[in-house]
Amino acid sequence: DTGVSQNPRHKITKRGQNVTFRCDPISEHNRLYWYRQTLGQGPEFLTYFQNEAQLEKSRLLSDRFSAERPKGSFSTLEIQRTEQGDSAMYLCASSLALADWTDTQYFGPGTRLTVL
């Protein structure tokens, strides 16, 4: 299967702990996105990578959040000192962007985070 994969699928943690999620995009895709989705809402943009460069971060992404994409392949999203408000589904998407911005994003299955 060559789709976007995310690990873990579920994560339960206690408030104040650090967590890290991993996303493996479709191979050859140069763009990678992170979104967050809470119950009853559509996904909200968090950050975006073009190859290994992180080019935009949403204001939703506080200082406790950090994302990396070393070597332009897989990406990690780390949340430090988790809070109950961080509980959500974290979605990763990748796309192959060529000449313009109308690239189709393909989403992974998501990581559901529960902060107790």
* One residue of 27, 40, 70, 84 binding another protein per CB under 8 A: 40
| C-beta closer to another protein: residue 80 or 97 | 97
- In the complex, least distance from residue 72 CB atom to another protein, rounded to whole angstroms: 15
Contact status: 110 vs another protein (CB under 8 A): yes
Contact status: 89 vs another protein (CB under 8 A): yes
**Residues 11-50: b if buried by 16+ CB within 10 A, e if exposed:** bebeeeeebebebbbbeebbbbbbbbeeeeeebeebbbbe
Any residues with CB less than 8 A from the CB of 47 and at least 6 apart, and which?
33, 34, 54, 56, 57, 58, 61, 67
- In the complex, least distance from residue 81 CB atom to another protein, rounded to whole angstroms: 26
Q: Please calculate the CA angle 111-107-100 and round it to the nearest 5 degrees.
A: 140
* One residue of 25, 43, 61, 88 binding another protein per CB under 8 A: 43
Residues lying near another protein in the complex (CB under 8 A): 4, 6, 31, 33, 35, 40-45, 48, 50, 55-56, 89, 91, 93, 95, 97, 101-110, 112
